[in-house]
Amino acid sequence: MNPSELTAVVLIAGCGTRIRDVVAEPKSLLQVGGETIINRHLRLFGEVGIRKVILVVGYKKELILRTIEPFRESLDITIVANDDYTTLGNGVSLQMGIEATDGPVLVFDGDLIYARDILERFASEAHPTSVVVGKASIDDIECTKSMLDAKGFIRLFVDKRAVTEEELERFTFAGEAMGILKFSDADRLSLLALCKEFYSVPERQLLNWEHVLNCFLPKHDVWSHFDDSEAWIEIDTPEDYEDAKEKAGLLNKEG
């Protein structure tokens, strides 16, 4: 697939409760390797040929808008506001983002940092609907564990809990979903309809996208795009942030 055909949707509305005691600004404005996380996203999009970008913002959005202003000349950036980010989680942000565009999309967790090589390989990968999966331990409770069927398609995400014996009998563990997802236009529309139904229930509105994807995966073929690079990290905690700063050299060396 040509990266220029894709729209990047970046989910950066949340306030990062697990790291907010250490840093007051949005996580996307944390500095790693001399640039903010959101500016790194935008720079890499331009470098690989992605021009259309949707930013789903919320917490301290004015700071983010000022930060990304220099990229408006080179990228077609649309801002979508999730102003109720304390009651509407990143699953609803996903819904808002994929509704704001048409055509195939790449969806990014905004607190993810990755080397350019990872994005280049995935954006041009042949499968129109797929998820980047990286190396991980099946015993890691925190990570989003990707479980595959016999054909290599993801049928289940197991997040923040252990994989059950029944799940191990039905599926094969592939690794951790990094937080970069690709959907064809047809699958984007199917996912959008499912999001609207799923998040119409108030009790579900804070649930992350893994929950709605678990309703999507059994009926749609979502390929597991495995990338064995270690040049990526998701920042959830102060410890993750320190690890990211230590990893900055590897991230920049590979991309």
pLDDT digits (tens, 9 = 90+) for 99-155: 999 999 999 999 999 999 999 999 988 899 999 999 999 999 999 999 999 999 999
Largest CA distance in the chain: 52
Closest C-alpha to 106, from 18, 6, 26: 6
Instruction: For residue 138, give the DSSP letter.
Output: T
183 and 109 in contact (C-beta within 8 Å)?
no
Q: State yes or no: pLDDT of 49 exceeds 90.
A: yes
| Per-residue confidence band for 252, with pLDDT thresholds at 50, 70 and 90 | confident
Please indicate whether residue 252 or residue 35 has the higher confidence score (pLDDT): 35
**Distance (Å, rounded) from C-alpha 124 to C-alpha 250?**
22
Q: State yes or no: pLDDT of 83 exceeds 90.
A: yes
Question: Which pTM was predicted?
Answer: 0.96
| Per-residue confidence band for 15, with pLDDT thresholds at 50, 70 and 90 | confident
**Distance (Å, rounded) from C-alpha 174 to C-alpha 170?**
13
CA distances from 104 to 112, 186, 187 (A): 21, 8, 8
Q: State yes or no: pLDDT of 65 exceeds 70.
A: yes
| Per-residue confidence band for 254, with pLDDT thresholds at 50, 70 and 90 | low
Closest C-alpha to 128, from 103, 146, 110: 103
Burial class (CB in 10 A: 0-12, 13-18, 19+), 43: middle
**Distance (Å, rounded) from C-alpha 255 to C-alpha 67?**
22
CB atoms within 10 A of CB 2: 9
The whole-number pLDDT of residue 251 equals 82
Task: Report the DSSP pairing between strands 7-12 and 31-32.
Answer: unpaired
Lookup: tokens for 35: 């640039």
**Distance (Å, rounded) from C-alpha 223 to C-alpha 29?**
31
Closest C-alpha to 91, from 213, 187, 186, 224: 213
CA angle 131, 43, 112 (to 5 degrees): 40
The CATH number assigned to the domain with range 3-254 reads 3.90.550.10
Mean pLDDT of the chain: 95
The whole-number pLDDT of residue 249 equals 81
| Per-residue confidence band for 255, with pLDDT thresholds at 50, 70 and 90 | low
Q: Find the helix packing angle between 185-198 and 90-99, rounded to 10°.
A: 140
**Distance (Å, rounded) from C-alpha 50 to C-alpha 106?**
10
Contacts 24+ apart (CB under 8 A), 121-126: 121/225, 121/227, 122/180, 122/182, 122/225, 122/227, 123/1, 123/3, 123/6, 123/48, 123/49, 123/50, 123/182, 124/1, 124/2, 124/3, 125/1, 125/182, 125/225, 126/1
7 and 105 in contact (C-beta within 8 Å)?
yes
Instruction: Identify the three-state secondary structure at position 214.
Output: helix
